[in-house]
Amino acid sequence: MESELGTHNGPEVRGELIDPYFEGTDVLAAEDLAAGVAYMVTRSRHAAVGELWIMPTEQG
């Protein structure tokens, strides 16, 4: 997901793992996660969503 979290790692981790992942993947935006949460909380009262996985299509 798009965030600043990757910047909390050292340059060796960023260079080997984080940066290549973000360059090769269409990462999720905050709006993608918000749409999933909105889906969960707008179900009728007799339906419950117990788990929701949201990930980039490349990871699916």
pLDDT in tens, 9-59: 788 887 777 777 777 777 888 999 999 999 999 999 999 999 999 888 876
Cα angle vertex 21, ends 20, 22, to 5°?
95
Q: For position 59, what pLDDT does the model report? A: 66
Place of tokens 């793992």: 17
Q: Are 1 and 33 in contact (CB under 8 A)?
A: yes
Whole-prediction pTM: 0.61
Domain regions of the chain by residue span: 5-59
